[in-house]
Amino acid sequence: MLPSPCTDMTGNLTRRNFLAAAAAAFVRAQSAPELILDIHQHVLYNGRTKDQLLAHQLEHQITTTVLLPGEGWMLPILGGNRECAGFQAEHPGRFVRFACSDPAESRTPDVLRGDIRRGAIGIGEMKFHVAVDSPEMRQIYKLAEGLGVPVLIHFEYETYNTGLERFQAILKAYPKVNFIGHAQTWWGNISAELDPLDLYPKGRVKPGGLTDRLLSDYPNIYGDLSAGSGLNALTRDPDFARDFIRRHTRKLVWGSDCDCRDGKGGGIKSGQCLAAQSLPLLRKLAPDTAAFRRIVHENASALLRLKKS
Ligand SMILES: [Zn+2]
Ligand SMILES: [Zn+2]
């Protein structure tokens, strides 16, 4: 009977096996997945199951995911505080979560305080029919200030958190609160020239846009690169995007906000996974690996005060 390559019959074979194993370990170490933090995901998103969400995040080797609950009108589309807390508990070490409640409801401070006491580490996604500088939102910022947590805001012209042009006053009034800007009107305003009704503007960016200025001038505002809006900001004018990323390397945080079923575009109309598009694009546009790592992990990890793993 011939000795199997794994047996110890000859010294040569053992040595060969040992070298092969060492080489394999070296290759594994070289290709060890980078730490990737997705700052924008939802459970039960447009009918996606919890198992599909897990598979989606594993497909992109995402090591930490921030679950953003919805509230009120959003609940038919995505999971709320309880669903996020339950899913986080089922998968220890993989997920963290924010807390959400409708700012127009008087119970909201109690809801947010309670959920943060039970382990939520931020407030969002705030996507309600209010002005960004309304008394309702100001009470959210005050609460965030007291609790020491960031607030993630969806800006959409005349729809959600209206009045981006007045947001500067909020950044000044709440210097201890870290804000995370998201969505169409936030990203449309990287350009100084914008039709506010055009939620996915194409073509060249005119330098000096409001979003660009806020990111430069205020230490307490970050840009969430998730969703079609974040991707559009990176694709519409690659030369501008490359420079924008270089200038705001420490202020951008990567997220997907993707609702596809499998991380490959399955189960959604576009057939395209946002993470599958934006991660390679960011790698290409970032000035170097260190900048890429900051955007896909380190900035958010520091912002959320996550323990180093
Ligand atoms: Zn979202
Ligand atoms: Zn996807």
Q: What is the pLDDT of residue 34?
A: 84
Ligand closest in space to the Cα of 98: 1
Residue 190 lies in a domain: yes
Cβ pair 178, 202 in contact under 8 A:
no
Report the predicted TM-score, pTM, of the whole model to 2 decimal places. 0.89
Q: What is the pLDDT of residue 6?
A: 43
In terms of Cα–Cα distance, which of 36, 73, 67, 33 is closest to 53? 67
Residue 293 lies in a domain: yes
Rounded to the nearest angstrom, the distance between the alpha carbon of 68 and the centre of ligand 1 is 7
Rounded to the nearest angstrom, the distance between the alpha carbon of 232 and the centre of ligand 2 is 16
Residue 10 lies in a domain: no
Q: How many domains, in total, are found in the chain?
A: 1
Residue 67 lies in a domain: yes
Rounded to the nearest angstrom, the distance between the alpha carbon of 59 and the centre of ligand 2 is 9
Residue 29 lies in a domain: no
Residue 118 lies in a domain: yes
On the question of pLDDT at 8 being above 50, the answer is no
CA 244, CA 238: separation in Å to the nearest integer? 10
Instruction: Specify the DSSP class assigned to residue 295.
Output: I
Residue 277 lies in a domain: yes
Whole domain around residue 126: which residue ranges?
35-303
User: Which CATH number covers residue 276?
Assistant: 3.20.20.140
On the question of pLDDT at 7 being above 90, the answer is no
How far from the centroid of its chain's Cα atoms is residue 47's Cα? Answer: 20
100: left (phi over 0), alpha (psi -120 to 50) or beta: beta
Residue 56: CB atoms within 10 Å:
26
Q: Is 96 helix (H, G, I), strand (E, B) or coil?
A: strand
CA 221, CA 58: separation in Å to the nearest integer? 29
Q: What is the pLDDT of residue 307?
A: 78
Q: Is 73 helix (H, G, I), strand (E, B) or coil?
A: helix
In terms of Cα–Cα distance, which of 293, 302, 285, 148 is closest to 222? 302
Residue 149 lies in a domain: yes
Q: What is the pLDDT of residues 150-205, one digit of tens each?
A: 999 999 999 999 999 999 999 999 999 999 999 999 999 999 999 999 999 999 99
Average pLDDT estimate for 92-104: 97
